[in-house]
Structure 1
Amino acid sequence: MQIVISALVIGGISALLAAILTIADALVNNYGEVSIRVNDSKDLKVKGGATLLSTLASEKIFIPSACGGKGSCGLCRVKVLTDVGPILPTELPYLSEKEKKNNIRLSCQIKVKSDISIEIPEELFNIMEYIASVSSITDVTHDIKEVFFDLEDEIEFKAGQYVQLIVPAYGDIKGETMRAYSMSSQPSVKSGVELLIRLVPNGIVTTYVHKMLKVGERIRILGPFGDFYLRDTDSDIIFIAGGSGMAPIKSIIFDMMEREVKRNAYYFFGARSKRDLFYLEEMKEVERKMPNFHFIPALSDPLPEDNWEGETGLITDVVDRYLSEQGDEIDREAYLCGSPGMINACIRVLTRHKVLEEKIFYDKFG
């Protein structure tokens, strides 16, 4: 715990120093017009001085960034083919040795001061900005809201992908803030997206959604992003999630049901007590329509008043018991969504039961 706190403190100090340097640089320097060469095929003429992340966004090229460019998520990686100086201390925690050697950088930390050449995945050119209006807000648990956004333009995505939600300035929060949320609606619903947003203490976006967001409000959404989606194989499927990690798994499962996918699938959903469970009836309905689908909710700390008769214990223990009973000879792949600690624990259990690491896909958050 002390190591985690120290890392968070260091990360916060680094982000603050980066912000101070950015402001000072903008006040002192005027870089004029510069060129960004993208994938050796597209040239952008832009005003110099801003970060690569924000500059590309101004040209409608959106790089993934769960933290909204604050230097605290490490998602906004791009390959930089031009010398833009040494890797910054704010980038180091998020880059592997291989990425460093391959000139991978965090676009939110690189300033566009002169002509630059970069490489990005081609699919990022398909990312769009959507104008959305809130059509419904529903409490599904005491700390998770289901929010549906109607979109002015139709969206195309794979079940399991995410979008970035942009909320306006409020209170002491200066400027817009952006955070990433997995879509819980299925791809057949093209006119809007459904998100499951859990209230995080002191979370800028989650606080806005839970305390201020209103039906009818217009808001901006970027997407779709991500490579967390169901692979087209014949393997049995293990889904594991907890809390708002339900979102991408729900999207995948409902998409499977619509497409009449016949694969064996087990969905292990972990919660602390009964008040943290939701969509139970919806999952029972899926079980009725998909004979090969099995939903296994489990409570790690059920209350006496819960009168819980289902599985108990940590979700990893429940998964371990099920896989032990079924045997390790079955060809399986797994899809996990939750905190890094939960996902790492699940990976250990799965690999112990002969699930290959290359067949374990996950979406980490928090």
Structure 2
Amino acid sequence: MINILVTIGVISGLSTILALLLTIADVYIADYGEKKIIINGEKELIVDGGNTLLSSLVGSSIFIPSACGGKGSCGYCKCKINNGAGPVLATELSYLTDEDQKNNVRLSCQVKVKEDMEIEIPEELFNVKQFRAIVEEAQDLTDKIKFLRFKIIDGQEISFKAGQYVQLIAPAYPGNKEEVYRAYSIASSTKHQDYIDLIIGYVEGGILTTYVHKHLSKGDEVSFNGPYGDFYLQNTDAEMVMVAVGTGMAPIRSILYEMLDKGINRRAVYFFGARSKDDLFMLDEMKMLEENLYDFKFIPTLSRPQEEDDWEGAKGRVTDAIAEYLDEAPNREAYLCGSAPMIDSTVKSLLTKGFSEDRIFYDKFE
């Protein structure tokens, strides 16, 4: 038995040493020199070879969405690499469909720049910028959800569409050894280009949510980049159905203020899900919007109301409220924000109400 354990220990030790030597060799011995990246057949970058495509682009102030901070665990940083990518890696396979692989789509955080490349990215990513800001407001909305207002400094302004998101950067802090960034929807109106509002929930063990809830205070400086995303208010006259839970309030709030500030007269109903009355927030704002928007109704629904809540409103999940309060009608659009299970179940409910799938827009938290 002892001999077996010793053998296992020796093999594990040798494997660790070999992996370390390979890493050192890749970093210090393999000199790839300067490499050229051609973007969309027009823009040319010269970068140091050996780094990931994602970090090479970020180093040239071209920001690709990456909710996991480049660790290969979100699949957001896809881009088309027509030449120079090398074979698809095992770390990419779970995020690439057969169609992706057929069309040369790869994860930019996993592909290293070892030779000249030709890539394609959406043109709007050239408008993404890095911003520095000061925490102007920091307010607890519930025991786990915080409202933040970031006042942009250095004379910059941000131009975005209502519903889009930014990537907030957390520096190293006690308990976190390296810089990380995560995606959060903008909660403010597009008319305010000198600040953004965010609504961030606390997740036990979450690196960035711990930074926000435990380390970030009013007056602190933060960095973020953006805007990103194809979830935003569409320019139509369709009746609107909005559905969100928890911090999914953020992009819906941005859309509602966009409608208020620009005088957009569209009938709208907003189903907001929470567990108990203590988990509801911004009720005064919703009441103000009901009074000032053209034809807007806010319907909060509680899935686990407490006896002391004395709740007389809608009960159950948001899908239950949709089934009860929403009639079938033509010319409607839906805007959803929340977890993947919530989005999936809500889409099914809306389809039973006659919605067309191509008019259901959503921001799905992975």
Residues 1:116 and 1:19: Cα distance change in structure 2 (over 3 Å): farther
Alpha-carbon separation, structure 1, partners of 2:25 and 2:247: 39
Give the corresponding residue for 1:304.
Answer: 307
- Which stretch has the larger CA shift, 80-89 or 102-111? 80-89
Alpha-carbon separation, structure 1, partners of 2:20 and 2:48: 19
- What 5-or-longer segments of structure 2 have no aligned partner? 1-18
Give the corresponding residue for 1:256.
Answer: 259
Give the corresponding residue for 2:344.
Answer: 344
SS class of match (1:294): strand
Letter in 2 for 1:215: K
Give the corresponding residue for 1:116.
Answer: 117
* CA offsets 1:96-127 (integer angstroms, 9 cap, x no match): 22111110111001001111110111111110
Give the corresponding residue for 1:54.
Answer: 55
Give the corresponding residue for 2:244.
Answer: 241
Give the corresponding residue for 2:177.
Answer: 174
Alpha-carbon separation, structure 2, partners of 1:297 and 1:28: 60
Alpha-carbon separation, structure 2, partners of 1:26 and 1:206: 32
Letter in 1 for 2:208: V
Alpha-carbon separation, structure 1, partners of 2:175 and 2:203: 17
Letter in 2 for 1:338: G
Alpha-carbon separation, structure 1, partners of 2:51 and 2:291: 54
Aligned residues between the structures:
346
Query: Aligned ranges for residues 157-306 of structure 1 at < 5 Å?
Result: 157-306=160-309
Alpha-carbon separation, structure 2, partners of 1:364 and 1:231: 17
SS class of match (1:171): coil
Give the corresponding residue for 1:354.
Answer: 354
Give the corresponding residue for 2:79.
Answer: 78
Alpha-carbon separation, structure 2, partners of 1:154 and 1:20: 46
- What 5-or-longer segments of structure 1 have no aligned partner? 1-17
Query: Percent identity between the aligned chains?
Result: 52
* CA offsets 1:21-52 (integer angstroms, 9 cap, x no match): 76763244221111111111111111111110
- Which stretch has the larger CA shift, 121-130 or 91-100? 91-100
Letter in 1 for 2:359: K
Under a length normalisation based on structure 2, what TM-score does the superposition of the two structures give? Answer: 0.92
SS class of match (1:155): coil
Residues 1:140 and 1:116: Cα distance change in structure 2 (over 3 Å): same
SS class of match (1:65): coil
> What's the CA shift for 1:255?
0.7
**1:102 aligns to 2:103 (yes or no):** yes
Alpha-carbon separation, structure 1, partners of 2:83 and 2:193: 39
> What's the CA shift for 1:19?
11
Letter in 2 for 1:92: L
- Which stretch has the larger CA shift, 77-86 or 241-250? 77-86
- Structure number with greater Rg is 2
Alpha-carbon separation, structure 1, partners of 2:103 and 2:167: 27
Determine if contact 2:163/2:233 at 8 Å carries over to the other structure.
yes
Residues 1:85 and 1:20: Cα distance change in structure 2 (over 3 Å): farther
Alpha-carbon separation, structure 2, partners of 1:111 and 1:92: 16
SS class of match (1:81): strand
**1:126 aligns to 2:121 (yes or no):** no
Kindly report the root-mean-square deviation, in angstroms, between the aligned alpha carbons of the 2 structures.
Answer: 1.6
